[in-house]
Amino acid sequence: FRQAPANRLIIRIVTTKAAKHFFDASQLELPVYDDADEWSMWGGRGDPVLHIELRKWADAMLIAPLDANSLAKIATGLCDNLLTSVVRAWDPRKTLYFAPAMNTYMWENPLTYKHMETLKGLLGFREIPPVEKELICGDKGYGAMAPPAMIASIIASDVKNKFAFLSVS
């Protein structure tokens, strides 16, 4: 992960309109991009296109949480927002992780299984499976996003292994 200080990652956040309900971007010390940014930096032919620039910049990508709506869009090839546009342009040689999060009833829907198989099988994305706990709606069940520490541990392990492999060869 180039340009990163030792033992650090450089992170940029892409958010959907719905995701903005769950955090306050002004409280973060990281760049946060949304749909409005896609068009505000583009003026005409030859200008940078944000979703392409983000795709070029990133060594890896994490979608967390990945809700049922974005899962369905990505699995069917829709790219109607900044996030899904970055994913549609994603370099398949780079790792894309996703951490699903949705109500148990949505998780158990047969379409969810089909969409997950598309992401993992056809697109080669890496799932960080959901867990069982109290969901945002108050139900207890399977479908909650994996804890952030677990997600970070999986990615850190992959990064460590990648660099160990690169240093050996």
137 is catalytic: yes
Catalytic residue among 137, 149, 164, 168: 137
* Structure tokens, 148: 């952030």
- Sheet with 60-66, edge to edge strand ranges: 60-66, 95-100, 126-127
Task: Specify whether the CB–CB gap between 124 and 87 falls below 8 A.
Answer: no
Residue type, 65: P
Give the number of other CB atoms < 10 A from CB of residue 48: 12
Task: Specify whether the CB–CB gap between 82 and 38 falls below 8 A.
Answer: yes
Angle at 121 between CA 99 and CA 148, to 5 degrees: 10
Catalytic residues: 137
